[in-house]
Structure 1
Amino acid sequence: MTTDTVAPLSMRQAFNGTVLASAVTAAAELGLVDQLDEHRACALDTFARDHGLSFRALRLIADVLEGADAVATVHDGVTLVPGPRFTELRENKGYLVWLVKGHAPILAQADTFARAGRGQDAARLRDGRAIARACHDYGRFHVDPVFDRVTAGLAFECAADLGCGSGHRVIRLAHRYPGKRFVGLDPDEGAVETATKAVADAGLRDRVEIVHADVSRPARGRHPGVDLVFSFFPGHDLWPLEECVTSLGQVRRAFPDARRLLLGDTYRSDLSSDAAAPVFSLGFEYTHALMDQYIPSPGDWEAAIARSPWRLADRTELDLPYSCIFHLTPRH
């Protein structure tokens, strides 16, 4: 994966980019982007009145987006329509929600969390609900299409999602495979609450179970019959190396009937000083450094897998910068 050569970021770009990130997050969370995507137009005065918003604030949010060519205002001055870069906004807004809302306290107190021993304090301040929503949003554009292709030919009766977040992945699979059972596990209470509600709203409580659990140490024997296990993006939380090897072994013992483990995660890009770093990479590595979490390289993952009860059978790149799916099968 390569990046373009661009000029170093200026302080003006940094300041205005921070405002843009906030405006994108607000537009996404308020439903303004969805309104434009579905109806291709939005009367700001009506939208503000119907949603109990300040028109002045909404107008400035729209102005900032318009400055990025994501939206445009028509001749009446209050009707918003998609701009030339609206598709880019729609497909990438989840990354901004993930960074700006999901990690807001960490970004605001970076100087505090850069001090030795404060990383765990930072990790506890993440907004699990916002992160779950954000991962769902960008995942449907950049992860789910690849995941669908990978799972299309797999035979299974019961699948478990370690780190299920909003639950959208198990819900999608449950709709695709009406005769199958699913389990979603997540350590974040906010994500579990979000996923449980989503499962109920989808009418799938009879086939989809959401469990609050430590995905690095799933309970042995708790979910018999699970023959497919997948995990997307909590993998880096398993490190350092010895802990990762232990966790991979624990997953094997917790799901002895599993014939395949699909482990999807973002790996280290080494682009922290590159102004052309793609969306997500720099924010991912920056926030995790503040949480004092190690981000492994593909070689690190291969070394851990080689010492685990799993064998690396294949690898598929995701449409997400520096991210892939490791296809693991039981070694014995």
Structure 2
Amino acid sequence: MTLTDSTTRHTDGTTELPAMSMRDIVDGHTAGHLVVAADDYGWWTDLLDGVPVHVSTPMEDVVADGLTRAGLLIREGETLRLTVAGRDVAAHRGFVRVTVRGWEPTFRRLASAREADRVPAATEPDNVARGCTDIARRRPEILAAVGGALAADEPGVTIDLGCADAGRVALLSALAPHEQFIGVDIEDGVIADATVDMAARGLAQRISLLTGSVQSTDDRPSWLDEVDCDAVTTAMSFFLLHQLASDGGGIAAVLRGWMEWFPNLRRVVIGDGIRLTAPSWTQQPWFSPTYEIYHAITGVRLWSDEEYTAAFAELGWTVRQRHSDHTMLVTTILER
């Protein structure tokens, strides 16, 4: 998808694309770290839920002061509340966490990789996992649509391929109470922590978590030996298919492999970012430029909306629901 150009015309007839200012760059970096720190304190969740937040330590005071001066919080004595802009940032804190903490090690390697064709991703898995769950959580109506589709069908087994911290399956388990869930992720530390969390929440009987690759075009992964593959009726993947498709011969090739793993699939849910292009960052939806640059650094291809649609049709899947988030993030519920 190509976005419409937006330019500034000068008196001599030349044009200039809108630019970020030095203040945007420097202050934005600082604000991003403060936003994540406040999230670690639990402030954004509490404030969005209407729970009062009280500043009680010198370090909290520093963070609260910075976020107040950034226009995201209002201080009333030692109590905090959200501004309109702050409410928007609180809802989108998952994006901030991914870019500020999760992807930062990859960007930091650029200077030492000047002659390289690409920089293999070096991420902080915990922050990427938590951020991805928060991104999904900020649009509850999308997860509600997935949960509704599961609940309306005969009970089965839903597998989340690339489940991150299992936050999505935990939320869906409440929406589809008769469904069994499996989560698989390559990050063993993330899965270990999530397994403890699911047990503490009383969900271990309905949610099984496994460690391993979900790339279907590689050799058959050993974790499949622990799964009743014939019982799996729904496969989900969020924010991952573009990468798997880049490494594995395309979107259809990856999906075809999953269909071979789980021969009785009747539903697939794909949430992923699509490729958008524009000459200036200020012409793209926010987060889209960062998403684009990160994947250019790591050599991962981004795919167009048309390419996803063509792959789904090639494999005989029919789009039942489609939900767009900020233009570039699309969740599709497919059935056959």
Question: How does the TM-score come out when normalised to structure 1?
Answer: 0.84
**Following TM superposition, by how much is the alpha carbon of 1:196 offset from its aligned partner in structure 2, in angstroms?**
1.3
272 and 174 in structure 1: CA distance in 2 versus 1, 3 angstrom threshold: farther
Q: Which residue of 1 aligns with 2:252?
A: 245
**Following TM superposition, by how much is the alpha carbon of 1:141 offset from its aligned partner in structure 2, in angstroms?**
1.4
Identity %: 25
Segments of 5+ residues of structure 1 without an aligned counterpart are 49-54
User: Is residue 149 from structure 1 mapped to residue 145 from structure 2 by the alignment?
Assistant: yes
Question: Which aligned pairs between 1:130-141 and structure 2 lie closer than 5 A?
Answer: 130-141=127-138
Q: Which residue of 2 aligns with 1:81?
A: 81
- State how far apart, in whole Å, the 1-side matches of 2:50 and 2:175 are: 28
Contact 2:169 2:181 in 1 (8 A): yes
**Following TM superposition, by how much is the alpha carbon of 1:322 offset from its aligned partner in structure 2, in angstroms?**
0.9
Describe the SS at the equivalent of 1:268: coil
User: Is residue 301 from structure 1 mapped to residue 300 from structure 2 by the alignment?
Assistant: no
- State how far apart, in whole Å, the 2-side matches of 1:18 and 1:270 are: 24
Of stretches 103-112 and 286-295 in structure 1, the one that deviates more from structure 2 is 103-112
- State how far apart, in whole Å, the 2-side matches of 1:16 and 1:150 are: 38
Segments of 5+ residues of structure 2 without an aligned counterpart are 8-17
- State how far apart, in whole Å, the 2-side matches of 1:135 and 1:194 are: 16
**Following TM superposition, by how much is the alpha carbon of 1:151 offset from its aligned partner in structure 2, in angstroms?**
4.0
43 and 208 in structure 1: CA distance in 2 versus 1, 3 angstrom threshold: closer
**Following TM superposition, by how much is the alpha carbon of 1:195 offset from its aligned partner in structure 2, in angstroms?**
2.4
Deviations 1:118-167 (A, max 9, x none): 422xx1x211111111122221112x421322441441411111111111
Of stretches 280-289 and 241-250 in structure 1, the one that deviates more from structure 2 is 241-250
Contact 2:277 2:284 in 1 (8 A): no
Q: Which residue of 2 aligns with 1:214?
A: 213
252 and 9 in structure 1: CA distance in 2 versus 1, 3 angstrom threshold: same
243 and 32 in structure 1: CA distance in 2 versus 1, 3 angstrom threshold: same
Q: Which residue of 1 aligns with 2:228?
A: 223
Question: Which aligned pairs between 1:39-118 and structure 2 lie closer than 5 A?
Answer: 40-44=51-55, 46=56, 48=57, 55=58, 57-74=59-76, 76=77, 78-113=78-113, 115-118=115-118
- State how far apart, in whole Å, the 1-side matches of 2:5 and 2:144 are: 30
Aligned residues: 314
CA RMSD in angstroms comes to 2.6
Deviations 1:172-213 (A, max 9, x none): 222233332111111122331232122112212112110112
Deviations 1:10-53 (A, max 9, x none): 12221111111111111112223334445654332x2x2xxxxx
- State how far apart, in whole Å, the 2-side matches of 1:133 and 1:198 are: 13
* Amino acid in structure 1 at the alignment position of 2:296: A
86 and 235 in structure 1: CA distance in 2 versus 1, 3 angstrom threshold: same
* Amino acid in structure 2 at the alignment position of 1:195: A
Contact 1:312 1:326 in 2 (8 A): no
